[in-house]
Structure 1
Amino acid sequence: MKKIITILGFLGLILTSCSDYLEEENLANATAETFYLTESGFESLVNANYAQLREIYGEEAFMFCSGTDLYAPGRTEEPPGLSQYTQLNASSEGVDHIYRTAYKAIQTANTALYYSEQTEQTTNLAARIGEIKYLRANAYFLLVQTYGGVGIVTDFIDSPVLEFDRSSAEEVYDLIITDLTEALGSVSSGDFSGRVNQRAVQHLLAKVYLTKGYESFGSSTDFSTAADYADDAINGQALNLTFEELWTPKNDKNEEVIFSVQYDGSSISTDPTVLGNRQASYFGPYLGGSEVAGDAPFRTYNLCPTDFALSLYTEDDTRWEATFMNEVFERYFDYYDEGPDSGLPITDFYEPQWFTTADSLAYVTTHALTQDFEYHSYGTHSAQVVSLDYETIPVKKFDDPEAQFGEETSTRDIILSRLGDTYLIAAEAYLQASDPTTALNRLNVVRQRAGVAPAEIGDLDIDYILDERARELLGEYHRWFDLKRTGKLVERASLHHYLIQEGNFAGAGGELKILRPIPQKALDLNLNKDFAQNPAYN
């Protein structure tokens, strides 16, 4: 296979950015090659691999969430191709995000694997190699889900290569599974402390086999294998935290977190308005300008919850109040500083669907309200409302009361895999492996923690599991992949996103726009003109 890849012309930048990242540690100003052969130098190179996660997940959320049944634009437009599909093409805004950042992560991993064969031999070297293989597999998994078959590169490349081949999706899955299987045998078996451990690998293997099971080349045993890996990752652990505790600020490394992208104040101190992540800035209305800094978080007013998303919760579901800031104080952050039961006057209330007229009257007569209090009736505070500030209900799960005002300032960790998700992966895998009884058991563990009645065997199908994933994982970066994996993207997005109709997915030659297009810049730079675009975009 040919050596690959400039992809978007970023190979030189990849190598430079790695060196820049390590320069602070390279006090002796030795060359990179010499530096990487030392224990400390190689550790810095491993850390550079973890840092690539920030570029993948810490920037735009649109490729993970846009154009689904749960989120839609509020007052601020999302990239129209990703959000609505009609304008989706190889040059669309944002369509290169995963392609660009995942290949940077892959090249950084390949650099580390190359130097792992030459560096100083240490007791933790095998574990570090396993961590790197997990990170490379994760990047390829994002690519193959998003674009289908892509170019495979496993070599260290120190000069631009402008000609590359496209491998099949099946070949990409084979590489992912090989990397993860090898990682599983070498990474730490200890608790999560920021590094990849065995449970993180097991969780990702479960998701990979689950996704592969739906593919035309999937094996008859993929779903049962996914279930086994999910159970291995669960390892008998119960969901002991309340949903509110799970998302309390400063509790990002709680016992249910399996793997996350790490942030803290010190890591972004050199440029705190740029080096943080954006997750807290989505999923809610605009809450004021810089003049309210310290009083309210920055919100972009896009990726707001749809009517459908809000309709999924019932009165007994503790995830409603733990997910949404349905009661807003005059100073938003007083919810955290003074407590939700502080008695402070309320400026906005977002009514849930189960409220009756009597409930509404009781609320406004028994709570302290500001003079300009606004009562947002159910059905009037979803994404489709695009008028004024505070008009859509805010998602509070990712709030960071210590962040500076701005879009990229959050120092909350971005949780990529956690135990509630693992239970739902197991439920889906068992269902598809024709074991609905065990599937129901895994799903009801999640529902029990939420305080809702257990599901019954007659309820259980893939739509029920997708609804449960919506309630449990709202705002987390899974939804587009969930709908694409299960073949429900067209159906659910066109039913529940106010800007999408089924015809929006119509592509060239009668193909549907399910896979995203290979970015045009990648095709233009590739001297191999036989590298095919995805069919819907030809």
Structure 2
Amino acid sequence: MKIKKIYQFLLLFASLSMNQACNESLLDEDPKSTLAPDNTFVSTQGFETALTGLYVQVRDEWGWYAGGLTYAPMFAGTDLSVTGNRHPHITPFEDYADNIYSSTTIVNAYWNWAYTTIANANLIIEAADNEEVNWKSPSDKNRIKAEARFIRAYAYRELIYLYGDVPLVDQVYRPFRLDFERNPVSEVVHFMIEDLKFAVEYLPETAGIDGKLVKGAAQHLLAETYLKANQPDLAEQSASDLINSGVFQLMQTRFGNHLQEEGDVFSDLFKEHNQNRTSGNLESIWVIQQEYNVNGGGAERFTDWSRRAWGPYYSQINGMTLCDSLGGRSLGRLIPLDWWIDAYEEDDIRASKHNIRKEYWYNNPEHENYGEKVEMTEEWKKSGTLYPSTTKFYFGKSDDDPSYLNNDKDRVKFRLAETYLLLAEAHLAQGELDKAANAINTVRNRANASPITAGQVSLDFILDERARELFGEVPRRITLNRVGKLLERVKQYNPLSVHTIRDYHVLWPIPQTAIDANSEAVLEQNEGYE
């Protein structure tokens, strides 16, 4: 079954389940395809087909342009970056005051993405309880429900950190409901924890297919969610269970498909074809499959905009031309702030030339300065034309086409280095500063950074370390909102947003379309927004 057709089916069914966008005559029409709930959810194979569509939905979180999603607002207007080559989908989240509305494209897109994902997950979870399903293995039912429940929790994670209190949709409603109210974040977090505990119990430790969810992914997200629930002892247990499982480990020596090239173990984590366990990467816990022209992978459809966001728009400079070694077609949407560039010790490999590019050379053989170093100007930096930035999102398409739009390299969602930093948070919250320092030092030791002492541990230090280790990988807006530091860190580090951010901007507005559609109850708007 083709991925695109599965995806279209799931989106259609979700829209019928969540909205009154159809009438009886539409529901009575003969289907145009043989793919439908009553003949899909009858066997393990049918459920795997539906799960594939659900994974595609998750993959499109960072670049499904048709739905308005884009990656950059998760970093613009935070403590990590300012916008360079400005785009109207991104700039409201840096400009803040009087620029973010309940009709803003991105505000609506993330809400719709999350609730469509939840609706599709609910559909799978409900259908799995049908006693007439022909399961290939007795364990298939709970394993499939575990995958869907994990993804449902993941979607709620996005909702609570972006919008705050949100409606809790825990089933496929028949008939449609138009009377939703916003559930407190604490209730949604409890619901997420129950989903993730189920996933921990029934997901396999390893999977035979790249990209499939495993127990470790659920343990990782559960640890993070326990932190939000102010249960650091349980967060510590979940993170420790994952770290001590023996299934995953921090990569300490070079590995993978690019050993003949210059690099280090940190750069190897982000080189093409090195993301999955099958390539020898034992640090990756959950990897989104989006390699170009691979079944279930990416294509020229705006799958992932991370390369376009972080790489400078160097091709606009006379004497420079697109090339793979500079990341290909980047557009300079996001400029890393100087504090991040300067946050590394001299010998920290995460800041080596293989991981942060700070120097460029004229590379057009027809230009008179070919081979000479390009001297960066402040004007180029401010415009997004040329500046130091991460190389994590270089590559992404195997054939020689540096003008290609997307970053279709498999994308790591969770890796063990972040689990150690979640463990450090859990220890800090319990006042166990020595243990927190040990967890942080495990990550720093691999990077050849000097160890810290218990007296240096603080939440801000952990956020700084997350920036050094996880820059660009984990949506910074989500992290800062989770720990309650968005407002403080923006005011401290962002030279542009400090003048426009207001207290209420820690949350986005509830989309007006959702408020209007909920005609039988009042869906309250977030404070500060009309």
**Is TM more than 0.5 here?**
yes
Q: Aligned partners of 1:372, 1:29: CA distance in 2, in Å?
A: 61
CA contact under 8 A between 1:148 and 1:515: conserved in structure 2?
Answer: yes
Match of 2:381 in 1: 385
Match of 1:229 in 2: 238
1:244 to 251, 263, 267: 267
1:395 to 375, 390, 395: 390
Judge which range, 171-180 or 286-295, deviates more. 286-295
Match of 1:36 in 2: 41
1:152 aligns with 2:168: yes
Judge which range, 526-535 or 233-242, deviates more. 233-242
1:82-161 superposed matches below 5 A: 82-86=93-97, 87-118=99-130, 119-123=133-137, 124-157=140-173, 160-161=176-177
CA contact under 8 A between 2:299 and 2:408: conserved in structure 1?
Answer: no
CA contact under 8 A between 1:325 and 1:393: conserved in structure 2?
Answer: yes
Judge which range, 80-89 or 200-209, deviates more. 80-89
Residues 91 and 465 (structure 1), Cα distance of their counterparts in 2 relative to 1, 3 Å cut: same
1:261 to 288, 295, 318: 288
1:283 aligns with 2:310: yes
Judge which range, 291-300 or 89-98, deviates more. 291-300
Q: Residue 504 of structure 2 aligns to which amino acid in structure 1?
A: L
Q: Residue 391 of structure 2 aligns to which amino acid in structure 1?
A: K
1:314 aligns with 2:311: no
Judge which range, 430-439 or 53-62, deviates more. 53-62
* Runs (5+) with no aligned partner, structure 1: 1-8, 16-25, 214-221, 333-344, 348-368
Partner SS state of residue 414, structure 2: strand
CA contact under 8 A between 2:47 and 2:144: conserved in structure 1?
Answer: no
Shift of 1:529: 4.5
CA-to-aligned-CA distance 1:89-139 (integer Å, 9 cap, x gap): 322341223211111110110111122122222312221111111011111
Q: Residue 410 of structure 2 aligns to which amino acid in structure 1?
A: D
2:226 to 201, 209, 212: 209
CA contact under 8 A between 2:362 and 2:372: conserved in structure 1?
Answer: no
Match of 1:351 in 2: none
Shift of 1:225: 1.0
Q: Residue 36 of structure 1 aligns to which amino acid in structure 2?
A: F
Q: Aligned partners of 2:223, 2:384: CA distance in 1, in Å?
A: 43
**Size of the alignment, in residue pairs?**
469
Q: TM-score, normalised by structure 1?
A: 0.80
Residues 444 and 27 (structure 1), Cα distance of their counterparts in 2 relative to 1, 3 Å cut: farther
Match of 1:324 in 2: 356
Match of 2:15 in 1: 11
Match of 2:525 in 1: 533
Partner SS state of residue 505, structure 1: coil
Judge which range, 301-310 or 92-101, deviates more. 92-101
Q: Aligned partners of 2:180, 2:384: CA distance in 1, in Å?
A: 49
Q: Aligned partners of 1:269, 1:175: CA distance in 2, in Å?
A: 30
Q: Residue 110 of structure 2 aligns to which amino acid in structure 1?
A: I
CA-to-aligned-CA distance 1:193-250 (integer Å, 9 cap, x gap): 321111110000001111222xxxxxxxx01111111111112654233212212221
1:412 to 409, 414, 427: 409
Judge which range, 136-145 or 263-272, deviates more. 263-272
Match of 2:10 in 1: none
Partner SS state of residue 506, structure 2: coil
Q: Aligned partners of 1:223, 1:270: CA distance in 2, in Å?
A: 37
1:492-507 superposed matches below 5 A: 492-501=489-498, 504-506=500-502
Q: Aligned partners of 1:61, 1:158: CA distance in 2, in Å?
A: 34
Q: Aligned partners of 2:512, 2:33: CA distance in 1, in Å?
A: 42
Partner SS state of residue 375, structure 2: strand
Match of 1:366 in 2: none
CA contact under 8 A between 2:284 and 2:415: conserved in structure 1?
Answer: yes
2:335 to 275, 292, 304: 304
Residues 271 and 306 (structure 1), Cα distance of their counterparts in 2 relative to 1, 3 Å cut: closer
Q: Aligned partners of 1:28, 1:500: CA distance in 2, in Å?
A: 50
Residues 474 and 70 (structure 1), Cα distance of their counterparts in 2 relative to 1, 3 Å cut: same
Q: Aligned partners of 2:495, 2:297: CA distance in 1, in Å?
A: 41
Q: Aligned partners of 2:33, 2:298: CA distance in 1, in Å?
A: 25
CA-to-aligned-CA distance 1:313-371 (integer Å, 9 cap, x gap): 22111001243223445559xxxxxxxxxxxx9x9xxxxxxxxxxxxxxxxxxxxx945
Residues 414 and 132 (structure 1), Cα distance of their counterparts in 2 relative to 1, 3 Å cut: same
Q: Residue 318 of structure 1 aligns to which amino acid in structure 2?
A: I
Q: Aligned partners of 1:533, 1:388: CA distance in 2, in Å?
A: 35
Residues 158 and 83 (structure 1), Cα distance of their counterparts in 2 relative to 1, 3 Å cut: farther
Shift of 1:461: 1.0
Residues 140 and 56 (structure 1), Cα distance of their counterparts in 2 relative to 1, 3 Å cut: same
* Runs (5+) with no aligned partner, structure 2: 1-12, 20-30, 65-69, 253-264
CA contact under 8 A between 2:304 and 2:408: conserved in structure 1?
Answer: yes
Shift of 1:300: 2.3
Q: Residue 276 of structure 1 aligns to which amino acid in structure 2?
A: T
Query: What is the aligned-residue RMSD (CA, Å)?
Result: 3.1
Q: Aligned partners of 2:229, 2:74: CA distance in 1, in Å?
A: 19
Match of 1:461 in 2: 458
Residues 30 and 104 (structure 1), Cα distance of their counterparts in 2 relative to 1, 3 Å cut: closer
Partner SS state of residue 415, structure 1: strand
Shift of 1:462: 1.1
Q: Residue 290 of structure 2 aligns to which amino acid in structure 1?
A: Y
Partner SS state of residue 156, structure 1: coil
Match of 1:362 in 2: none
2:90 to 63, 69, 79: 79
CA contact under 8 A between 1:80 and 1:88: conserved in structure 2?
Answer: no
Q: Residue 516 of structure 2 aligns to which amino acid in structure 1?
A: D
CA contact under 8 A between 1:287 and 1:297: conserved in structure 2?
Answer: no
1:502-517 superposed matches below 5 A: 504-506=500-502, 512-517=504-509
CA contact under 8 A between 2:328 and 2:404: conserved in structure 1?
Answer: no
Partner SS state of residue 373, structure 2: strand
Q: Aligned partners of 2:331, 2:161: CA distance in 1, in Å?
A: 27
Q: TM-score, normalised by structure 2?
A: 0.81
Match of 2:23 in 1: none
Partner SS state of residue 221, structure 2: helix
Partner SS state of residue 375, structure 1: coil
CA-to-aligned-CA distance 1:26-59 (integer Å, 9 cap, x gap): 9993544123213322210111111111222344
Shift of 1:74: 1.1
1:184 to 181, 191, 200: 200
Match of 2:481 in 1: 484
CA contact under 8 A between 1:273 and 1:406: conserved in structure 2?
Answer: no
Partner SS state of residue 250, structure 2: coil
Q: Aligned partners of 1:483, 1:534: CA distance in 2, in Å?
A: 18
Q: Aligned partners of 2:521, 2:93: CA distance in 1, in Å?
A: 26
CA contact under 8 A between 2:322 and 2:403: conserved in structure 1?
Answer: no
1:62 aligns with 2:72: yes
Q: Aligned partners of 2:225, 2:435: CA distance in 1, in Å?
A: 20
Matched residues, percent identical?
28
